[in-house]
């Protein structure tokens, strides 16, 4: 997988941008690269990049997160350090953008520098199982809204089609025609497919490259949703 200096993940809310961004950062770090990830989500109140702070720190990935993330303050403020991502060109940088056009407004601030450097990949995170982007045409509509809001065009698509804990290889394979159509409609390449390790192992070779996902365990996962019926926190 060839990497650009800057990778931005945007898309419909709930499409899996944060998971993808965190795992992509971890994958880059594993290749021995110096990596910085910034949470630029000004929309989502919970379940943020910051939830993965410990894992990122362990992997040596620098995390830039809004001061008020995961607090009681409902303030969509961006951290000043986020400028580092566009000014310090010695580090691989990943931006996790908020959902839909609303979330993408925040990105506009950095776009002039991004265009000037011109070493970026802006990835649309696609999940065909999300109800408001159930057809490729609906996904294109969301893409255009995001591009209009931030002033930057998508360059790639990542196929993150999944049904959460119920995802199997068949779930991912059933997304093939959707993703193909989306790629045709937008004339954009599919940069990767993402899947949990157990699913990734079963996917045929045409799905490569695969971004293998480690998913966060949540306190509210039910015993039945956990492997071996064991509480994962214990």
Partner 1 sequence: MAERVLMKGNEAIAEAAIRAGCRHYFGYPITPQTEIAAYMAKKMPKIGGVFLQAESEIASINMVYGAAATGTRVMTSSSSPGISLKSEGLSYIAGSDVPALVVNVQRGGPGLGGIQPSQSDYFQATKGGGHGDYRMIVLAPASVQEMASLTIKGFNLADKYLMTSMILADGTIGQMMEPISFEDAEIENYEKPWALTGTEGKRKHNIVNSLYLKPDELEKKNFERYERYKIVEENEPMWEEYMMEDAEICVVAFGIASRVAKNAIVAARAEGIKVGLIRPITLWPFPVKPLKAAADQVKSFISVELNMGQMIEDVRLATECKRPVTLCNRSGGMIPSPEQVLDAIRNAQKGE
Which parts of this chain interact with partner 1 (CB under 8 A)? 13-14, 44-47, 71-74, 127, 129-132, 134, 162-166, 218-223, 229-231, 233-234
Strand order in the sheet with 210-213: 62-64, 35-40, 92-97, 6-11, 120-126, 156-159, 190-196, 210-213
Report the nearest approach of partner 1 to the CB of residue 118 (Å): 34
Select 28 or 211, whichever has its Cβ closest to partner 1: 211
Which is nearer to partner 1, 81 or 138 (by Cβ)?
A: 138
Please, which residues bridge with residue 38 across strands? 64, 95
CB of 26 to partner 1, least distance (A): 21
Sign of the C-alpha dihedral, residues 55, 157, 92, 110? Answer: negative
Spatial neighbors of 52 by CB under 8 A, at least 6 apart, are: 22, 63, 216
Name which of 89 and 218 has its Cβ closer to partner 1: 218
Task: Please state whether the peptide bond connecting residue 209 to the residue before it is cis, i.e. omega within 30 degrees of 0.
Answer: yes
- Closer by beta carbon to partner 1, 112 or else 223: 223
CB of 4 to partner 1, least distance (A): 28
Query: Rounded distance, CA 181 to CA 175, Å?
Result: 10
Judged by CB, which is closer to partner 1: 85, or 106? 106
Instruction: Closer to partner 1 by CB, 77 or 222: give it.
Output: 222
**Cβ nearer to partner 1, comparing 46 with 90:** 46
Q: Is residue 119 within 8 Å of 6, Cβ to Cβ? A: yes
Burial (Cβ within 10 Å: 0-12, 13-18, ≥19) of residue 221 = middle
Task: Report the C-alpha gap between 150 and 109 in whole angstroms.
Answer: 8
Residue 73 and residue 93: Cα distance in Å, rounded?
27
CB 138 within 8 A of CB 130: no
Closest approach, Cβ 174 to partner 1, in A, equals 10
């Amino acid at each position: 997988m060839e990497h650009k200096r800057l990778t931005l993940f945007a898309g419909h809310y709930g499409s899996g941008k944060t998971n993808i961004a965190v795992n992509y950062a971890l994958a880059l770090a594993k290749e021995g690269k110096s990596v910085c990830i910034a949470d630029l989500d000004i929309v989502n109140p919970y379940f943020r990049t910051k939830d993965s702070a410990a894992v990122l720190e362990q992997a040596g990935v620098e995390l830039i997160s809004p001061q008020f993330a995961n607090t009681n303050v409902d303030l969509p403020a961006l951290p000043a350090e986020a400028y580092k991502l566009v000014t310090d060109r010695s580090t691989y940088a990943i931006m996790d953008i908020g959902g839909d056009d609303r979330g993408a407004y925040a990105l506009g601030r950095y776009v002039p520098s991004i265009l000037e450097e011109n070493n970026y990949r802006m990835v649309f995170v696609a999940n065909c199982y999300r109800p408001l982007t159930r057809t490729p045409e609906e996904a294109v509509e969301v893409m255009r809204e995001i591009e209009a809001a931030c002033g930057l065009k998508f360059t790639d698509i990542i196929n993150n089609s999944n049904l959460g804990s119920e995802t199997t290889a068949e779930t991912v394979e059933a997304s093939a025609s959707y993703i193909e159509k989306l790629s045709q409609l937008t004339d954009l390449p599919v940069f990767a497919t993402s899947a949990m390790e157990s699913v990734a192992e079963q996917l045929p070779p045409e799905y490569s490259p695969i971004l293998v996902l480690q998913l966060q365990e949540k306190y509210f996962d039910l015993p039945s949703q956990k492997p071996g019926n064991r509480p994962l926190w214990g």
